[in-house]
C-alpha cells in the first residue's frame, strides 16, 4: 500500500472515531440542557399549583393555553415515606388539546396539605422527540464526517504530493541508476533538510559504487591482458619441447594434457575479458544477423566436435529471424547456448532448436531441473562436465543484458530449455 493511502486511511479512521465521540457528547449535552430548561419550567408551574392548593384558591384549568397538564391526588403517609418528594421522569402522555400521545417531561412532587395529609402533584409538559433528534444528529454528523473526510483527504493528498516531490524525484533517480552506466544528474536541493541529506547520501553511495565497479572492471581487464603473455610463452615452450626433443609416449601425454589445460585457461581468460567489456558497456559495431543461418553454422560445428556422443539435433520450428547486433557477440550468444546443450547432453541425447520471429529456444534432455536462481551466476555448474567453465551461460546473460534482450530457463517434460527473447525493435 502506498504511503499516501496508508495516511489517508488512518486519518479517516481517527476522524470517524473523534466524530462518533463528539456526536455522543453533543447529543447528551443537548438533552441535558433541554431537560434543565424543561425542569425549570415544570418546577415553576408546580410551585404555582402548590401555592394555589395551599391557599385554597381555585386551581388553574389544565392546559390553560399551553400543553401542560397536571393532576393532584391525596396519598397515604406510607406512600409519601416510600417515594421521593421530588422526581423527574420521561414518559408518553395523552395531550387532550392535540388528542394524541406525545413524549413528555413529568415532575412528581409530594407535599403536605393544609389539613395535614400528603398530596402528590403530577405535572407534565410535552418535550421534543428524542428519536427524531437522535436521527437528525446522526444524519448531520454523517454529513459532517463526509465533508471533513473529503476535505482532509483532498488537503492531505495535495500537501503530501507537494511535500514529497523530492522523494519521488530521488526514487525515479534510483530506478534509472545502473552501476555500469554514468551516474545521472540528481535534481537540485529541495530545501527540506531530511530530503537533502537523503539525496546527498544516495549520490555519495552511487559514486562509491561506480568507483568500486570501475576499479573491479579495470582489474579484471588488466589481469586478463597480463595473463595472455605468460600463457602464450607456456604454450610456445611446450610446443618447442615437442618439436625439438625426443620424448617418451608418457612424457608426450603429460605435455598434451598441460597444453589442454593452458588452452582452457586461455579460453577462460578471453571469456573474462569479454565479460568485463560487456559490463563496461563497450559494444562493438552492429550489423543485421540472420539467426537461422547462424544457428545452422554453429550447430554443424558442435556436431563435428561432439560426434563421439552421437547426439541428434533438429530445428523443430523455424521462422525468419533477423537481429541487429555485433556478429562476434551473436556467435558467442548462439555458440554458448548450443555448447551448453551439447556438453550437458548424455550419450545419444536429443537437442531441439526453435526459431520464432522474436525468440530463440534451445532444449536438451535432462533428468532434473537446475537451480533457476543461480543458473546464470559466473562459475556456477549444476553438474560439472568436461569442457564446461561455468561462464557460458553468464556470458549469454551478459550479452542479452547489453542489448536489452532477455534470457530465461525452464524445465518441462524432462527437458532443459533456454529461451532468448529479443527486443521488439530487432
CATH classification of the domain holding 214: 1.10.287
Contact between 305 and 364 under an 8 Å Cβ cutoff? The reply is no
Specify the pTM. 0.45
- Residue range of the domain that includes 207: 194-279
* Domain end call among 227, 261, 279: 279
Same-domain pairing of 382 and 408: yes
Tell me, yes or no, whether 117 and 217 share the same domain. Answer: no
Q: Which among 236, 251, 222, 405 has a CA at the least distance from the CA of 324?
A: 405
Each residue's pLDDT tens digit in the chain (426 positions)? 677 777 777 877 887 788 788 878 887 888 888 888 888 888 888 888 888 888 777 777 765 556 678 888 888 888 888 889 899 888 877 766 667 777 888 899 998 887 778 889 898 888 777 777 778 877 887 888 788 778 877 887 788 777 777 788 888 878 777 776 666 677 656 677 777 788 888 888 888 887 777 777 677 667 766 777 777 788 788 888 777 777 788 877 888 888 777 776 776 666 666 666 666 665 667 788 898 898 988 888 888 888 888 888 888 888 888 888 888 788 888 888 888 888 888 888 889 999 888 899 999 888 777 766 777 776 666 555 554 556 778 888 888 887 888 989 888 888 889 999 986 544
Q: Where are the alpha helices (DSSP H) in 110-192?
A: 130-163, 165-176
CA distance 48 to 70: 12
pLDDT of residue 412: 84
For 104, phi then psi, to 5°, come to -145, 160
Are 295 and 267 in the same domain? no
pLDDT the model gives residue 261? 76
Contacts of 40 (CB under 8 A, 6+ apart): none
Flag whether 72 is in a domain.
Answer: yes
How far is Cα 78 from Cα 367, in angstroms, rounded to an integer? 103
CA-closest candidate to residue 283, choices 323, 322, 324, 325? 325
In the block, residue with C-alpha cell 525468440: 359
Q: Flag whether 181 is in a domain.
A: no
Judge if 218 and 198 occupy the same domain.
Answer: yes
How far apart are alpha carbons 105 and 179 in whole angstroms?
Answer: 81
Question: 26: which 3 cell numbers?
Answer: 453533543
> How many folded domains does the chain comprise?
3
Tell me, yes or no, whether 248 and 297 share the same domain.
no
Q: Can you give the CATH number for the domain in which 298 is found?
A: 3.30.565.10
pLDDT of residue 234: 81
Closest of 83, 85, 87, 84 to residue 112, by C-alpha: 85
Same domain, 146 and 250: no
pLDDT for 108 equals 92
- For residues 105 and 127, the answer to whether their CB atoms sit within 8 Å is yes
On whether the CB atoms of residues 392 and 268 are closer than 8 A, the answer is no
419 contacts 359 by C-beta, under 8 angstroms: yes
Same-domain check for residues 131 and 210: no
Cell numbers found for residue 46: 408546580
Of 150, 180, 208, the domain-final residue: 150
Identify the H or E element spanning 16. helix 3-55
Same domain? For 294 and 254 the reply is: no
Q: Is residue 158 part of a domain?
A: no
* Whether residue 353 is found in the same domain as residue 236: no
Establish if 124 belongs to a structural domain.
yes
pLDDT of residue 1: 67
**End residue of a domain, out of 279, 310, 337:** 279
Residues 243 and 292 in one domain: no
Amino acid at each position: 500500500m502506498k504511503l499516501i493511502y496508508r495516511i489517508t486511511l488512518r486519518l479517516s479512521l481517527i476522524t470517524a472515531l473523534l466524530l462518533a465521540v463528539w456526536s455522543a457528547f453533543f447529543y447528551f449535552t443537548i438533552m441535558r440542557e433541554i431537560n434543565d430548561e424543561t425542569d425549570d419550567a415544570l418546577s415553576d408551574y408546580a410551585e404555582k399549583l402548590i401555592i394555589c392548593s395551599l391557599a385554597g384558591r381555585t386551581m388553574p384549568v389544565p392546559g390553560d393555553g399551553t400543553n401542560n397538564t397536571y393532576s393532584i391526588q391525596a396519598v397515604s403517609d406510607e406512600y409519601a415515606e416510600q417515594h421521593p418528594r421530588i422526581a423527574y421522569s420521561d414518559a408518553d402522555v395523552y395531550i387532550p388539546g392535540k388528542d394524541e400521545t406525545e413524549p413528555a417531561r413529568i415532575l412528581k412532587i409530594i407535599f403536605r396539605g393544609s389539613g395535614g395529609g400528603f398530596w402528590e402533584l403530577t405535572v407534565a409538559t410535552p418535550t421534543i422527540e428524542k428519536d427524531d433528534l437522535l436521527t437528525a444528529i446522526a444524519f448531520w454528523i454523517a454529513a459532517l464526517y463526509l465533508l471533513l473526510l473529503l476535505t482532509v483527504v483532498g488537503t492531505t493528498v495535495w500537501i503530501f504530493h507537494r511535500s514529497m516531490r523530492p522523494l519521488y524525484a530521488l526514487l525515479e533517480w534510483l530506478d534509472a541508476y545502473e552501476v555500469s552506466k554514468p551516474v545521472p544528474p540528481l535534481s537540485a536541493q529541495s530545501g527540506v533538510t531530511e530530503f537533502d541529506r537523503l539525496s546527498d547520501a544516495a549520490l555519495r553511495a552511487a559514486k562509491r559504487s561506480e568507483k568500486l565497479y570501475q576499479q573491479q572492471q579495470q582489474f579484471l581487464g588488466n589481469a586478463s591482458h597480463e595473463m595472455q603473455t605468460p600463457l602464450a610463452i607456456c604454450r610456445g615452450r611446450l610446443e618447442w619441447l615437442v618439436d625439438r626433443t625426443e620424448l617418451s609416449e608418457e612424457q608426450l601425454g603429460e605435455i598434451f594434457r598441460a597444453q589442454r589445460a593452458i588452452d582452457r585457461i586461455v579460453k577462460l581468460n578471453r571469456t573474462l575479458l569479454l565479460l568485463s567489456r560487456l559490463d563496461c558497456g563497450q559494444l562493438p559495431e552492429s550489423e543485421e544477423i540472420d539467426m537461422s543461418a547462424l544457428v545452422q553454422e554453429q550447430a554443424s560445428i558442435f556436431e563435428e566436435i561432439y560426434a563421439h556422443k552421437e547426439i541428434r539435433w533438429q530445428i523443430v520450428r523455424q521462422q525468419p529471424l533477423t537481429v541487429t547486433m555485433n556478429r562476434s557477440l551473436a556467435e558467442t550468444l548462439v555458440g554458448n547456448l548450443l555448447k551448453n546443450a551439447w556438453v550437458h547432453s548424455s550419450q545419444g541425447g536429443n537437442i531441439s532448436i526453435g526459431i520464432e520471429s522474436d525468440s530463440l529456444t534451445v532444449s536438451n534432455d535432462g533428468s532434473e531441473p537446475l537451480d533457476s536462481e543461480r543458473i546464470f551466476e559466473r562459475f556456477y555448474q549444476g553438474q560439472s562436465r568436461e569442457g564446461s567453465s561455468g561462464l557460458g551461460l553468464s556470458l549469454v546473460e551478459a550479452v542479452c543484458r547489453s542489448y536489452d534482450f532477455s534470457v530465461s530457463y525452464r524445465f518441462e517434460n524432462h527437458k532443459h530449455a533456454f529461451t532468448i527473447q529479443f527486443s521488439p525493435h530487432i
